[in-house]
Amino acid sequence: MCGRYVVVSKIVEIEERFGVHAPVPFSPHYNIGPGSMAPVITNKDPKTLQFFRFGLQPFWAKKPMFLFNARAEGDHNKANDPNYAGAAGIITKPSFRKPIRSQRCLVIADCFIEGTTDQKLDKPFVVHLAKGKRPFAFAGIWDEWVNHSTGEIVQSFAIITTTPNELLQKLPHHRSPVILNQKDEQKWLDSSLSLAEVTELLRPYSGSDMNAYPISTRIKNPRENDIDLLKPVGPSVSPNKSLVVEQEVLLEGMGFSRARQRKNG
């Protein structure tokens, strides 16, 4: 499951990368979790960076809900077979069948936090794209809920997950968030896309273009939010990549200085 992720790119970098305008400021967030306000780009307003609550609240819900992940297979693939190629059950789930058709969004991220299937965040990893490819976008869905007691309008989102790619299997973890290829981002926001075209995009991102490294269990505390949460405590999962290049991308790129990199190296 993808319940924690990171956004540290500057607003101007996000604006340039996704061709949007950000009307409000945003500080780096090193531990985004359910309930956090986080940047998204919706199909309803594809030129504006908005801030929705992480944790989908279906429009029909009678009480607060936080559905932070939407399973692409729905109730299928209960065995979590990484080679599953059957039906995308998300299209029939009551909480997701309307958003997947008409309320899709890009969820902006620089990397995400994943634990192992058995130990969860007792054994956390930072998972990132290789070669400094950030920020990137998860495939998301959004909804709008009205609290009829207070009149409050809650705009919220969920990240779609799918079968694990080869890197996530190495952790091991049984799910992957759907990371969109850059060429498919605007397609995901296209409201005229057929349902078949939508579900075709719900595939795992190539594990050969990703890597991961272990971090402190301090990430488990949702109140913790500082750059040291991303500090490696062990070697990368895929050691075949250059350690020097990886340190430059991850440590300096995520906000660490060269001086700290030398000190900790």
Pairwise CA distance, residues 4 & 31, whole Å: 6
- List the CATH code of the domain at 4-264: 3.90.1680.10
| pLDDT lower than 70: segments of the chain | 1, 240-265
Cα angle vertex 157, ends 152, 159, to 5°?
165
pLDDT of residue 240: 65
The count of C-alpha atoms lying within 13 angstroms of the C-alpha of 122, restricted to the half-sphere facing its C-beta, is: 4
pTM of the model: 0.91
State residue 265's pLDDT score: 33
Indicate the domain borders of the chain.
4-264
pLDDT of residue 241: 55
With H, G, I as helix, E, B as strand and everything else as coil, classify residue 211.
strand
